[in-house]
Amino acid sequence: MAEEAQEDGATRTLPSLRRLSRALPFGRTHGRLGISSSGRPIVSALCSQESADPQQTALLLRKAWTLYSVTPLYRFRRARLRDYARLLSAFIAAEKQKGLAVEVGVELDIKVALSSLADLRGSELDQAALLVQLSSRSRASSRNSEDKLVWSGWFCSVFGDDLSENLPEDFTSLPLFLSHGAESYTSLVGSWFQKTFDCCFRRLAISPQNLSWMVAMWAGCKLDRAAAAVELVFSVPRLSQPLDISYAIHPEDAKALWDTVQKTPGEITQEEVDVFMDCLYAHFHRHFKIHLSAAKLVKVSTAVASAHCDGIVKILQSQYLPGMLMLLTELAISQIQ
Amino acid sequence: MKRRDTHTGTGKAAYGSHKGETRDPTQTCPSKALRELRRTLRGGSIMDETVAEYIRRTVLKIPRDEIKMMLEKWGFLSEAQLQTLNCHQIKDSISQEVVQLCEVTITFKEYEDNAIWIRIAWGTPYKKPNQYKPSYVVYHSQTPYVFISASVLKSNMPLLCQALIVASNYHDIREMELRSHSLNSLKDIVFKRYSQNFQTYTTPLQGENVEPENADTRIVQENRSEKERIHRLNQGDFGSGPQPKLEFAQYRLETMFKSDPKMDVLDKKEPFRCLVKFSSPHLLESLKSLAPAVGLFQQAGSVELD
């Protein structure tokens, strides 16, 4: 990681989340794989944002979301959300009839709701997020029993204009998809969207390099009293017996370290992330003589959010939601392109 | 006195310092201590129904001709008691007899290596002791160590520790934070019974199979030298015997953060607080296979800084 060539040492500043400059927020290579190693400013994405509707964001926080990239949707019409909900509902019922049942046992009617989350976007150039919710009401129970939310998924785009700006008219770009709930429902919903809008879902993995970015960014966030530790989890492959190493640092100490590494507030460069990680690795090596840089970083976790290399994230605080989504949107777009 | 749980969990590196013991451990009188322990935990010799039932059912499960042998093996009945047992009765009667001969709720058994196994069934003032979920405590009377099975509930742990301290006449008990499914492995580590050579003595790799992956003899030679080197280093750190089977180890670091001066980073005067956990189905084997050598367990108890 530390050996990557710096293409361009200068950093670009993104003044505020609301005013988008035409420059790419993250220096991005043109290749399909990887994000550029040059300066990637992160900025006010991390600072407190006037949050969107708190009720909406409450739905999104403190849940483990599985990430996918989605290619643009063909002929998706915002006005037809009710129709789509009905069609998806029928599709799910039909699949259950066919015996591709989702839940064994209790007979469940699945109700589908589609809604737009207008505030969940980066700029006006982004599409508003689309939320899909599956609720169940047991047939056996009484009429006025409440629906129980069994699955939710949402499509979004936060500063995803890298993808959207070149699209032909009939396409809607919502490259990031997050799901929470049974895998069987995810594949049902995914199949329907794929058939209906001719798009393609792919699991979004998070590389160790990107995990390092995340942990460095989040370690520097303002802490409240009972903040959780900054934890990095490594797995050492190819051994006779698998080995997992968890390296947790007191959040104040991690923040103190990051504060001395980060040169300009509001900006983060790859170099700074590398220095931060190297410091942590060196400290570990002094004690255990193990090079963590040779192990695989599989999960990072802080008081702000946590992320796993298999593409599972959990966001714990609403003010960091936009910044996180921006980074994830970029990862999704890289995977699509 | 230190104690260890015998299932996965956290493990402290430090073997720790002994808290002041109030008497010389070599003077322990095991049976007196055990009586104390029993009294402290209020285990009586009153047989109650659930226990009786448990014993009865257990005996019934054994094929008749194996009962006596099994009871001998269990060893909680004395020779005399075993003699009196009539094994030609119907199994039902046999089991009834066994029940009558038994004492329950807390049982003790001494083994050869000075280990005393204590089996405890937990109950409350409102519930009878649950014989199906016992906990075990293994105490080596000549040592300040105690091994406790993970089946002890968190709520019962303080009581158990208190009882152990009182019974053994120690002053404090502290968890060592090393856990494993293999009690013998824990004992090996605690009693430092595994072979750990500190000299770098080279043993030539006789008879080791080095597959020639490549026709190029120079590469094969390199591989062989590298393998020899790793083998030597591992010998030095781990010894050549089989490793104790440890699953989890935890280290709390509170050392100063020192960095490369040219990196111009953190230079706090306070410790950098970290918690490191290693886990693996067989931790020492996996660490051993991390080449080159890991100086991990050489520094037993202390964390060295350069």
- Each domain of chain B, given as residue ranges in start order, spans 11-16+44-194, 242-294
- Among the partner-chain residues B266, B286, B293, the one whose CB lies closest to the CB of A243 is B286
Same domain as A281, residue A150: no
A249 in B contact zone (CB under 8 Å): yes
- pLDDT of amino acid B177: 65
Q: Categorize the per-residue pLDDT at A221 as very low, low, confident or very high, splitting at 50, 70 and 90.
A: confident
Determine the angle formed by the axes of helices B49-61 and B91-101, rounding to 10 degrees. Answer: 130
Does residue A175 lie in a domain region? yes
Q: In chain A, which residue's Cα lies nearest the Cα of B298?
A: A288
Residues B220-272: tens digit of each pLDDT: 455 555 666 666 666 556 655 666 677 788 888 888 877 665 555 666 677 88
Instruction: For residue A241, list chain B residues with Cβ-Cβ distance below 8 A.
Output: 280-283, 285-286, 289
Least confident of A139-148, A189-198, B58-67, B207-216: B207-216
By the CB < 8 Å criterion, does A77 face chain B? no
Q: Max Cα separation, chain A?
A: 65
With contacts defined as CB-CB under 8 Å, which chain B residues touch A275? 263, 265
A96-124: per-residue pLDDT in tens? 877 765 555 455 678 899 999 888 888 88
Please identify, among A203, A227, A258, the residue that sits at the C-terminal boundary of a domain. Answer: A203
Identify the pLDDT of residue B154.
Answer: 75
Q: In DSSP terms, which residues pair with A179 in a beta bridge? A: A66, A153
| Greater pLDDT, B75 or B190 | B190
* pLDDT tens per residue, range A43-76: 333 333 455 577 778 888 999 999 999 999 999 9
A257 chain-B contacts, CB cut-off 8 A: 257, 265-266, 272
Local confidence band at B133 (pLDDT 50, 70, 90 cut-offs)? confident
Mean pLDDT of the A196-215 span: 94
Contacts of A260 in chain B (CB under 8 A): 264-267
Minimum distance, in Å, between the CA of residue A120 and any CA atom of chain B: 37
Q: Is A291 on the interface with B (CB under 8 A)?
A: no
**Nearest residue of B to residue A292 by CA position?**
B290
Q: Is B260 in contact with A282 (Cβ distance < 8 A)?
A: yes
Which residues in A lie closer than 8 A to residue B256 (C-beta atoms)? none
B156 to each of A257, B73, B118, B233, B283, how far by Cα in Å? Answer: 41, 30, 15, 44, 29
Cα separation, A71 vs A63, in Å, equals 24
**Is there a single domain that holds both residue A181 and residue A87?**
yes
CB B241 within 8 A of CB B234: no
Q: Is the pLDDT of residue A200 over 90?
A: yes
B291 interaction partners in chain A (CB closer than 8 Å): none
**Cβ contacts of B116 within 8 Å, gap of 6 or more:** B30, B34, B108, B109, B110, B138, B139, B140, B141
Q: What is the pLDDT of residues A300-321, one digit of tens each?
A: 999 999 999 999 999 998 888 8
Confidence band for A163, pLDDT divided at 50, 70 and 90:
confident
> How close B303 comes to chain A (CA, Å)?
7
Q: How many CB pairs under 8 A join A and B?
A: 101
Flag whether residue A279 sits within 8 Å of chain B, measured between CB atoms.
yes
**CB–CB contact A242 B274 (8 Å):** no
Cβ of B274 within 8 Å of Cβ of A279? The answer is: no
A108 part of a folded domain: yes
Looking at the structure, tell me whether residues A195 and A212 fall in a common domain: no
> How much of chain A, in percent, has pLDDT values that exceed 70?
79
Helix or strand holding residue B259 (H, E): none
Distance from CA of A320 to the nearest CA of B (A): 25
Do the chains contact at A253 and B275, CB–CB below 8 Å? no
Is residue B303 predicted with pLDDT exceeding 50?
no
Q: Which amino acid does the sequence have at A144?
A: N
A194 and A214 in a single domain? The answer is no
Query: Is B274's CB within 8 Å of A239's CB?
Result: no
- Alpha carbons B300 and B159: distance in angstroms, whole number: 30
Whether A118 and A193 map to the same domain: the answer is yes
Q: How far is B257 from chain A (nearest CA, A)?
A: 7
Average pLDDT value for residue range A139-168:
80
In angstroms, what separates the C-alpha of A16 from chain B's closest C-alpha? 28
Per-residue pLDDT band for B45 (boundaries 50, 70, 90) equals: very low
Confidence grade of residue A298 (pLDDT, cut at 50, 70, 90): very high
Instruction: End-to-end CA distance of chain A: give it in Å, rounded.
Output: 23
Q: Which of B185, B247, B258, B280 to mutate to test the interface with A (most CBs of A within 10 A)?
A: B280
Tell whether A244 and A196 lie within a shared domain.
no
What pLDDT does B267 receive?
Answer: 64
pLDDT, residue B54, reads: 74
Higher pLDDT, A21 or A187: A187
**Contact assignment for A247 to B253 by CB distance below 8 Å:** no
Number of domains present in the structure of chain A: 2
Residue from the list B267, B276, B290 with its beta carbon closest to the beta carbon of A236: B290
Q: Exposed e or buried b for every residue in B25-55, given b needs 16+ CB within 10 A?
A: beebebeebbebbbebbebeeeeeebbbebb
**One domain, residues A90 and A59:** yes
pLDDT bucket at A25, cuts 50 / 70 / 90: very low
pLDDT at B170 (0 to 100):
76
- Whether A290 is covered by a domain: the verdict is yes
| Residue B208 pLDDT greater than 60, yes or no | no
Tell me the pairing of strands A176-181 and A230-236. Answer: unpaired
pLDDT number for residue A277? 94
How far B241 CA lies from chain A's nearest CA (Å)?
17
Q: Which residue of B has its CA nearest to A276?
A: B265
pLDDT tens column, B66-89:
777 777 777 666 666 677 677 777
Q: Domain residues for A94?
A: 42-203
If asked whether residues A230 and A171 sit together in one domain, one would say: no
Tell me what the mean pLDDT of segment A310-337 comes to.
90
pLDDT score, position A37: 38
* Residue-level pLDDT at B192: 66
Q: Looking at the structure, tell me whether residues A70 and A219 fall in a common domain.
A: no
d(CA B177, CA B2): 10
- Under DSSP, the state recorded for B226 is H
Task: Map residue A204 onto helix, strand or coil.
Answer: coil
Q: Residue B274: its chain A contacts at CB < 8 A?
A: 247-250, 253, 283-284
- Which of A301, A28, A9 lies closest to A163 in space, CA to CA? A28
Q: What percent of chain B has pLDDT over 70?
A: 42
A233 close to B (CB below 8 A): no
The answer as to whether A81 is a domain residue is yes
Same domain flag for A189 and A221: no
pLDDT (tens digit per residue) in A121-140: 888 888 899 999 999 876 66
Tell me the pTM.
0.61
Instruction: Supply the mean pLDDT for chain A.
Output: 79
Q: For residue B136, what pLDDT band results from cuts at 50, 70 and 90? A: confident
A262 pLDDT more than 50: yes
The nearest alpha carbon in chain A to B290 belongs to A239
Q: What is the mean pLDDT of residues A228-233?
A: 94
B interface test, pick of A223, A239, A247 with most B CB neighbours within 10 Å: A239
Helix, strand, or coil here: B120?
A: strand
Examine the domain organization and report whether A141 and A253 are in the same domain: no
Structure tokens at A45: 């994405």
- Give the pLDDT score at A310: 95
> Does A317 map to a domain?
no
Are residues A75 and A198 part of one domain? yes
Instruction: Please tell me the least confidently modeled range out of A89-93, B59-63, B125-129, B149-153.
Output: B125-129
- The three-state secondary structure class of A68 is strand
Q: Is A243 on the interface with B (CB under 8 A)?
A: yes
Inter-chain touch B255–A275, beta carbons under 8 Å? no
Is A83 in CB contact (< 8 Å) with chain B?
no
Sort out which chain A residues have CB atoms less than 8 A from B297's CB and list them. none
What is the distance between the alpha carbons of residues A290 and B38, in angstroms, rounded to a whole number? 47
